[in-house]
Amino acid sequence: MEFGDAVRAGTATLSCDGGAKAGSHPQACLHIGPEDETVCPRCSCRYVAGEDAPRETGD
Walk across the sheet containing 37-39 and list its strands. Answer: 2-3, 6-9, 46-49, 37-39
Confidence at residue 2, expressed as pLDDT on a 0 to 100 scale:
43
pLDDT of residue 58: 55
Q: Quote the pTM value.
A: 0.73
Q: Rounded to 5 degrees, what are φ and ψ at 32?
A: -90, 115
Give tens-digit pLDDT for 12-46.
Answer: 999 999 877 656 899 999 999 888 999 999 999 99
Q: Give the pLDDT confidence score for residue 18 in this predicted structure.
A: 87
Architecture of domain 2-49: Sandwich (2.60)
Q: Who wins on pLDDT, 27 or 58?
A: 27
- Kindly tell me if the per-residue pLDDT of 55 is higher than 70: no
> Are 46 and 37 spatial neighbours (Cβ–Cβ below 8 Å)?
yes
